[in-house]
Amino acid sequence: MRYKLTQSEFDRISDLVHCALTSPNKREAERFIQQIPYVCLYLCGSARNILSELIAATKSASGRVSNKERLSYFAEMSLYKLRDYIARDGVED
């Protein structure tokens, strides 16, 4: 069990979220959203909770929805919170 992400894992999650948010519909976005939990399978603790929050926010903001900017903002904020869980200097907790 790990409590931190590597920089490459965070970058991959960020790319998947961006692809999901820019997808034309929810069905297309679901392909990217389903990959997010598998990027950091052994993540636990509060980082796992933030990852779950990020996935939920990305699902609701993807595709054609009203208030897309507002919903995308929540996904971006969850992604920003997840940044605090990147392991620094190659050290993982």
- What is the rounded distance in angstroms from the CA atom of residue 10 to the CA atom of residue 69? 22
pLDDT at 90 exceeding the cut of 90: no
Terminal CA-CA length for the chain: 9
Which is nearest to 13 in space by CA: 86, 91, 90? 86
Q: What pLDDT is stored for residue 92 in this prediction?
A: 54
Reading the block at residue 53, the tokens are 């929050």
- What is the rounded distance in angstroms from the CA atom of residue 63 to the CA atom of residue 31? 12
> Which strand (E) or helix (H) includes residue 90?
none
- Please tell me the pTM assigned to this model: 0.90
- Mind listing the pLDDT tens digit for each residue in 7-55? 999 999 999 999 999 999 999 999 999 999 999 888 888 999 999 999 9
